[in-house]
Amino acid sequence: MSEDVVTAKDANPVHAEGEALRAEGLGKTYAEGKLKTHVFDGLDLRVAAGETVAIVGASGAGKSTLLHLLGGLDTPSAGEVYVAGQKMSALSDAQRGRLRNRALGFVYQFHHLLPEFTARENVMMPVLLAGGEVEEASARATALLESVGLGHRLGHKPGELSGGERQRAAVARALVNRPACVLGDEPTGNLDEKTAAHVFELMLELNRAQRTSLVLVTHDRRLAQRLDRVLELHEGRLREVQGGALAGE
């Protein structure tokens, strides 16, 4: 297989095929000495292009672990993850890195912006890492930052931005490469209720505009219920939540 699996100029094949992300028979086991902990086993998930999915569950259920496996940041003990139609386990580390950069966007509870760079420079980086030109990267970053209300903060560093502004910049960075899917791990968890609602609205608006899928781990059921599907991770399996009823309630 060629090392050039994904480049900055590639059209995203996932959108054409109608599937953004797929997990089949996914399992994860942690071993410490003779003790083995099974986080989940035989887990299946399919996310269609443009679909928004919330994953909820009790603390310690493995929601963040699942997100890391879907994003290729961790390796499953069993099963397969497909991103952009490509089997992650069949790719080299370098290929997986390029695929993550081009086909996936990540938004975490903490923004993870680089403090020494401006908002625009932070958002430009995924484009540059994918081989894009500086001019192209700057134009994309500027347009996205303007769309999230940060056009007047382009030259500000993270330390000069409020918490909500930093998280909006992180959302712009996640979407700058027009990924097939954005993975969010409690992206509004550090924000006050009003700011969290605003950032959440921006994520939905941008995802709809780009027809990007969204898989969001959240403890906020009100936000979760605004997505297309709500899935609960319980005892190592995903189940669709009907009418907002969670296990144990």
How confident is the model at residue 130, as a pLDDT? 83
Using only C-alpha atoms, the chain has a radius of gyration, in whole angstroms, of: 18
Could you read off the pLDDT tens digit of each residue along the chain, which spans 249 residues?
334 443 333 434 444 458 889 999 998 888 887 787 778 888 999 999 889 999 998 877 788 889 999 998 888 888 999 997 889 989 888 888 888 888 898 888 777 899 999 999 999 999 998 888 999 999 999 999 998 889 999 999 999 999 889 988 998 998 898 898 999 988 877 777 887 888 888 888 888 888 889 999 988 888 888 899 999 988 788 888 875 445 444
Q: In terms of C-beta distances under 8 Å and separation of at least 24 residues, what long-range contacts does 82-86 make, across chains too?
A: 82/19, 82/21, 82/22, 82/23, 82/24, 83/14, 83/21, 83/180, 83/181, 84/6, 84/12, 84/13, 84/14, 84/180, 85/13, 85/14, 85/17, 85/19, 86/5
pLDDT digits (tens, 9 = 90+) for 67-107: 999 998 888 888 999 997 889 989 888 888 888 888 898 88
How confident is the model at residue 10, as a pLDDT? 41
Question: Phi/psi of residue 53, each to 5°?
Answer: -130, 130
33 neighbors 76 (Cβ within 8 angstroms): no
Q: How far apart are CA 88 and CA 127, in angstroms?
A: 21
SS3 for 61-121, per residue? CCHHHHHHHHCCCCCCCEEEEEECCEEHHHCCHHHHHHHHHHHEEEEECCCCCCCCCCHHH
The domains located in the chain, with CATH, are: 49-77+87-240 (3.40.50.300)
How confident is the model at residue 2, as a pLDDT? 39
How confident is the model at residue 80, as a pLDDT? 92
How confident is the model at residue 186, as a pLDDT? 85
Question: Alpha-carbon torsion 13, 142, 72, 70, what sign?
Answer: negative
- The reported pTM is 0.82
